Amino acid sequence: MDVPANLSKIAPWISKTTECMELRLVQPQLGHPDASEPVSYTVFEPTFTYPIFGEQEVVFGYKGLSIKISYTSGSLRIYPCIDYKQKYEPGSSSSATTAETPEGPDDVSNMLLDFLPKQDCFSNYDEFVRAVQEDAESFRPIGEKIHEYSRESSESGEEHFEIYRTSFTNEKFKKYHRRMQFFVLLLIEGSSYIEENDEKWEIYTVYKRQNTGGSTIYHFVGYCTTYPFFYWPECTRLRISQFLILPPYQKEGHGSELYQTIYSTCMLRNDVKELTVEDPSEDFADMRDRNDMRYLNTHNAFDKLVAPVSRKTMKELRQKFKLTDRQMQRCIEMYLLSRINPKQKEEYKAFRLQVKQRLYLFNLDALRDLDPEDRKDKLEQTFDNVIEDYHRLLEMI
């Protein structure tokens, strides 16, 4: 909604959607036969809601508004529930109308359903609970399983996870993706839905596999979309587009496992010559840097490298390890920094010049208009910031 000028009068009827909305992953209540509820919830909040409710991320017309979007934890069938204590009624004594007051409350339900697959949404809670129990037994991930791994949990011991790859050529997955994609609007800034009629998209999904009572239950953890672009002369540049691990599973290494799987898959594919990333967030860039450095170190990419590293060597490494030119240069710079002794003046000078040359070329448009002295100071400041960030990243590796 657009916020009118008489905000103080209508403020009690305005709800901040990032605060009144929550997402729930719902699964059967396992191991608790006497539990009062047949299901259990894992709850988290959206980071953004402006794709649905507008730039201000508010709705008008309710007091005590509650928006709960529940998902079956594996199959992702949906139960949207909207509740409130009081609803605005134009003309009532408690809802005084002025020329700048909205005519009526926002239709929250329809605003949500514009982005959700209506045919997969329940309107009855009991039917949704039955779906939770049925889908726990019957749902299986769609696509080709390409990797599995384990993690230790303080609560349940060893937990098992699987990664699958598929595309929109699979009609069953296309329907599943319509349920899955809602998360990116709420958790990835600036994200939008991708075109499901484009069968070139490759989608990687992550699931937790839970073995209980002789049966296996799968829970959705996250996913990544990738798209192949032409790479001269007859090859592919694979671009990571959307990359999401749901909040309950973040900070547990699942993002790294997913990225490593995609990167390792690229390394095995003769058609893919480069892996790129579309507008990475700071957290994703950090994760990518750590994993690229570990992979390059493990495969002895930096053996015998000293500054200055020639363009020929950089090109050979970039082509061998299928990273972009900038990413490979940054990884080389981090490696050199980790090995260099600042007290060795000539060695450190060669390193500084190499990094500054890259920074100058990368920021050429911004630097070329500065006076020589200002340009020198700006480049020095940029260099110091880069080195500080490299030290931060090296401490994590």
**Across the chain, what does the average pLDDT equal?**
92
Model pTM? 0.92
57 has a pLDDT exceeding 80: yes
Q: Taking the alpha carbons of 114, 70, 170, 271 in that order, is the dihedral positive or negative?
A: positive
274 pLDDT tier (thresholds 50, 70, 90): very high
d(CA 152, CA 159): 6
Count of Cβ atoms closer than 10 Å to residue 13 Cβ: 21
Q: State pLDDT tens for residues 151-161.
A: 988 777 899 99
397 pLDDT tier (thresholds 50, 70, 90): confident
d(CA 104, CA 107): 9
Annotation says 278 is catalytic: yes
Q: What is the pLDDT of residue 156?
A: 74
Q: What is the pLDDT of residue 154?
A: 76
More confident residue, 45 or 364: 45
Q: What is the mean pLDDT of residues 331-351?
A: 92
Count of Cβ atoms closer than 10 Å to residue 21 Cβ: 24
Q: Output phi, psi for 54, to 5 deg.
A: 95, 170
Q: State pLDDT tens for residues 92-141.
A: 545 555 546 667 899 999 999 999 999 999 999 999 999 999 999 999 99
Q: What is the pLDDT of residue 212?
A: 84
32 has a pLDDT exceeding 80: no
d(CA 387, CA 382): 9
Ramachandran region, residue 293 (left: φ > 0; alpha: ψ -120 to 50; beta: rest):
alpha
Q: Which of 278, 347, 388, 395 is catalytic?
A: 278
Q: State pLDDT tens for residues 42-53.
A: 999 999 999 999
Q: What is the pLDDT of residue 91?
A: 66
Percentage of residues of the chain with pLDDT beyond 70: 93
Return the structure tokens found at 60.
């008008």
Q: State pLDDT tens for residues 223-270.
A: 999 999 999 888 999 999 999 999 999 999 999 999 999 999 999 999
Q: What is the mean pLDDT of residues 282-288?
A: 96
1 has a pLDDT exceeding 60: no
For the chain, the three-class secondary structure string (H helix, E strand, C coil) is: CCCCCCHHHHHHHEEEHHHHEEEEEEEECCCCCCCCCCEEEEEECCCCCHHHHCCCCEEECEECCEEEEEEECCCCCEEEEEECCEECCCCCCCCCCCCCCCCCCCCHHHHHHCCCCHHHECCCHHHHHHHHHHHHHHCCCCCEEEEEEEEEECCCEEEEEEEEEEECCCHHHHHHHHHHCHHHHHHCCCCCCCCCCCCCCEEEEEEEEEEECCEEEEEEEEEEEEEEEEECCCEEEEEEEEEEECHHHCCCCHHHHHHHHHHHHHHHCCCEEEEEECCCCHHHHHHHHHHHHHHHHHCCCCCCCCCCCCHHHHHHHHHHHCECHHHHHHHHHHHHHHHCCCCCHHHHHHHHHHHHHHHHHHCHHHHCCCCHHHHHHHHHHHHHHHHHHHHHHHHHC
Q: What is the pLDDT of residue 360?
A: 92
Q: What is the pLDDT of residue 34?
A: 55
4 has a pLDDT exceeding 60: no
Percentage of residues of the chain with pLDDT beyond 90: 81
Q: What is the pLDDT of residue 37?
A: 81
CA dist list (Å): 327 to 124, 215, 267: 50, 44, 16
Q: What is the pLDDT of residue 258?
A: 98
30 pLDDT tier (thresholds 50, 70, 90): confident
174 has a pLDDT exceeding 90: yes
